[in-house]
Chain A
Amino acid sequence: MSETKLSIVDLTKRYAAGLDPAVDRLNMQVEEGHLVALLGPSGCGKTTTLRMVAGLMDPTAGSIVVDGKEITHTPVNKRGMGMVFQSYALFPHMNVEQNVAFGLQMRQTPKAEQKKRVAAALDMVQLGHLGKRQTRELSGGQQQRIALARALVVEPTLLLLDEPLSNLDAKLRETMRTEIRSIQQRTRATTLFVTHDQDEALDMADRIAVMNGGLIEQFGSPTDVYERPQTHFVANFIGQANFLDVTIISETGPAPVAGEASYKVDVEGLGGFGAVGAKGLTGAHELVIRPHRLKVTLTGEGHDALKGTIERVSYTGDALSVAIAVGERSFNAQLLTTSGDLPRRGDTAYLSWAPEDAYLLPAAAPGKAS
Chain B
Amino acid sequence: MTLLKTRGRSPLQAAGSGELEKATEKRNRRTYLALLIPGLLGLLVSFVFPLAYMVRMSFNKGAPDGVIEETFTFDTYLQPLTDPYYWKVTLDTFQMGVTVGLLCVLVSYPVALFLARSQSKYRGLLLAIAIAPLLTSAVVRTYGWMVILGTNGLINSSLTGMGLIDTPLKLTNNITGVTIGLVEIFMPYAILAMISGFGRLSPQLEEAAGSLGASKAKIFARVTLPLSLPGILTAFLLVFVLSISTFITPRLLGGGSVQVLATEIYDQTTGLLNWPFAAALSVILLVLFGLIIAVYQRLTRKIGG
Contact status of A83 and B208, CB under 8 A, knowing A91-B223, A93-B200: yes
**CB-nearest residue of chain A to B303:** A93
> CB distance A56 to B211 under 8 Å?
yes
14 A-B residue pairings within 8 Å (CB atoms): A77-B212, A77-B213, A78-B213, A82-B212, A83-B207, A85-B204, A85-B207, A93-B305, A102-B212, A102-B222, A106-B212, A106-B213, A134-B305, A154-B212
> CB distance B207 to A56 under 8 Å?
yes
Instruction: State the Cβ distance, A159 to closest chain B Cβ, in Å.
Output: 11
Q: Across the interface, which residues of A come within 8 angstroms of B213, CB to CB?
A: 77-78, 80, 103, 106-107, 154
Q: Residue B200 contacts which of A79, A92, A160 (CB distance < 8 angstroms)?
A: A92
Known contacts A92-B205, A92-B227, A106-B212; 9 further A-B pairs (Cβ under 8 A): A54-B211, A56-B210, A77-B211, A85-B207, A89-B207, A92-B200, A107-B213, A150-B212, A151-B212
Instruction: State the Cβ distance, B227 to closest chain A Cβ, in Å.
Output: 6
Q: Across the interface, which residues of B come within 8 angstroms of A80, CB to CB?
A: 213
Query: Is the CB of B80 closer than 8 A to any CB of chain A?
Result: no
Q: Across the interface, which residues of B come within 8 angstroms of A151, CB to CB?
A: 211-212
> CB distance A76 to B211 under 8 Å?
yes
In the complex the two chains form, what is the Cα distance from A80 to B209 in whole Å?
12
Interface string of A162-179 (1 = CB under 8 A from B): 000000000000000000
In the complex the two chains form, what is the Cα distance from A76 to B212 in whole Å?
8
Query: Is the CB of B88 closer than 8 A to any CB of chain A?
Result: no
Q: Across the interface, which residues of B come within 8 angstroms of A107, CB to CB?
A: 213
Q: Across the interface, which residues of B come within 8 angstroms of A103, CB to CB?
A: 212-213
Contact status of A106 and B218, CB under 8 A, knowing A91-B223, A92-B200, A92-B227: yes
> CB distance B227 to A81 under 8 Å?
no
In the complex, chain B residues 121-137 whose Cβ is within 8 Å of any chain A Cβ:
none
Query: Is the CB of A87 closer than 8 A to any CB of chain B?
Result: yes
Instruction: State the Cβ distance, A147 to closest chain B Cβ, in Å.
Output: 8
Q: Which 10 A-B pairs have the closest CB atoms?
A: A106-B213, A103-B212, A89-B208, A83-B211, A76-B210, A89-B204, A93-B226, A106-B214, A77-B213, A77-B210
In the complex the two chains form, what is the Cα distance from A93 to B199 in whole Å?
12
Main secondary structure of the interface of B (DSSP, over half): helix
In the complex the two chains form, what is the Cα distance from A357 to B226 in whole Å?
60
In the complex the two chains form, what is the Cα distance from A89 to B223 in whole Å?
11
In the complex, which range does the number of interface residues on chain B fall in? Answer: 10 to 19
Q: Across the interface, which residues of B come within 8 angstroms of A154, CB to CB?
A: 212-213
Q: Residue B209 contacts which of A55, A102, A134 (CB distance < 8 angstroms)?
A: A102
Instruction: State the Cβ distance, B143 to closest chain A Cβ, in Å.
Output: 44
Q: Across the interface, which residues of B come within 8 angstroms of A85, CB to CB?
A: 204, 207-208
Interface string of B199-238 (1 = CB under 8 A from A): 0101011011111111100100011001100000000000
Q: Across the interface, which residues of B come within 8 angstroms of A89, CB to CB?
A: 202, 204-205, 207-208
Q: Across the interface, which residues of B come within 8 angstroms of A77, CB to CB?
A: 210-215, 218
In the complex the two chains form, what is the Cα distance from A76 to B210 in whole Å?
6
**CB-nearest residue of chain B to A93:** B226
Instruction: State the Cβ distance, B173 to closest chain A Cβ, in Å.
Output: 45
Interface string of B248-282 (1 = CB under 8 A from A): 00000000000000000000000000000000000
In the complex, which range does the number of interface residues on chain A fall in? Answer: 20 to 34
> CB distance A87 to B204 under 8 Å?
yes
Q: Across the interface, which residues of B come within 8 angstroms of A54, CB to CB?
A: 211
Interface string of B172-205 (1 = CB under 8 A from A): 0000000000000000000000000000101011
Instruction: State the Cβ distance, A93 to closest chain B Cβ, in Å.
Output: 5
Instruction: State the Cβ distance, A348 to closest chain B Cβ, in Å.
Output: 54
Instruction: State the Cβ distance, A216 to closest chain B Cβ, in Å.
Output: 24
Q: Across the interface, which residues of A come within 8 angstroms of B218, CB to CB?
A: 77, 106
In the complex the two chains form, what is the Cα distance from A309 to B251 in whole Å?
95
Q: Across the interface, which residues of A come within 8 angstroms of B207, CB to CB?
A: 56, 76, 83, 85, 89
Q: Across the interface, which residues of B come within 8 angstroms of A82, CB to CB?
A: 211-212
Q: Across the interface, which residues of A come within 8 angstroms of B215, CB to CB?
A: 77
Instruction: State the Cβ distance, A136 to closest chain B Cβ, in Å.
Output: 9
Instruction: State the Cβ distance, A90 to closest chain B Cβ, in Å.
Output: 8
Instruction: State the Cβ distance, A192 to closest chain B Cβ, in Å.
Output: 13
In the complex the two chains form, what is the Cα distance from A50 to B208 in whole Å?
14
Instruction: State the Cβ distance, B108 to closest chain A Cβ, in Å.
Output: 22
Most A C-beta atoms less than 10 A away, residue of B202, B210, B211, B215 = B211
Most A C-beta atoms less than 10 A away, residue of B213, B218, B227, B305 = B213
Q: Across the interface, which residues of B come within 8 angstroms of A150, CB to CB?
A: 212
Q: Across the interface, which residues of A come within 8 angstroms of B202, CB to CB?
A: 89
Q: Across the interface, which residues of B come within 8 angstroms of A92, CB to CB?
A: 200, 205, 227, 305
Q: Across the interface, which residues of A come within 8 angstroms of B204, CB to CB?
A: 85, 87, 89
**CB-nearest residue of chain A to B222:** A102
Q: Across the interface, which residues of B come within 8 angstroms of A55, CB to CB?
A: 210-211
In the complex the two chains form, what is the Cα distance from A160 to B210 in whole Å?
14
Q: Across the interface, which residues of A come within 8 angstroms of B209, CB to CB?
A: 91, 102
**CB-nearest residue of chain A to B226:** A93
In the complex the two chains form, what is the Cα distance from A198 to B205 in whole Å?
29
Interface string of A18-51 (1 = CB under 8 A from B): 0000000000000000000000000000000000
Interface string of A299-331 (1 = CB under 8 A from B): 000000000000000000000000000000000
Interface string of A50-93 (1 = CB under 8 A from B): 00001110000000000000000001111111110101010111
**CB-nearest residue of chain A to B201:** A92
Instruction: State the Cβ distance, B247 to closest chain A Cβ, in Å.
Output: 39
Most B C-beta atoms less than 10 A away, residue of A78, A80, A102 = A102
Instruction: State the Cβ distance, B119 to closest chain A Cβ, in Å.
Output: 12
Instruction: State the Cβ distance, B304 to closest chain A Cβ, in Å.
Output: 9
In the complex the two chains form, what is the Cα distance from A134 to B207 in whole Å?
21
In the complex the two chains form, what is the Cα distance from A107 to B211 in whole Å?
12
In the complex the two chains form, what is the Cα distance from A137 to B208 in whole Å?
20
**CB-nearest residue of chain A to B229:** A93
In the complex the two chains form, what is the Cα distance from A92 to B229 in whole Å?
13
In the complex, chain A residues 192-237 whose Cβ is within 8 Å of any chain B Cβ:
none
Q: Across the interface, which residues of A come within 8 angstroms of B200, CB to CB?
A: 92-93
Q: Across the interface, which residues of B come within 8 angstroms of A78, CB to CB?
A: 213
In the complex, chain A residues 133-152 whose Cβ is within 8 Å of any chain B Cβ:
134, 150-151
Q: Residue A93 contacts which of B210, B212, B214, B227 (CB distance < 8 angstroms)?
A: B227
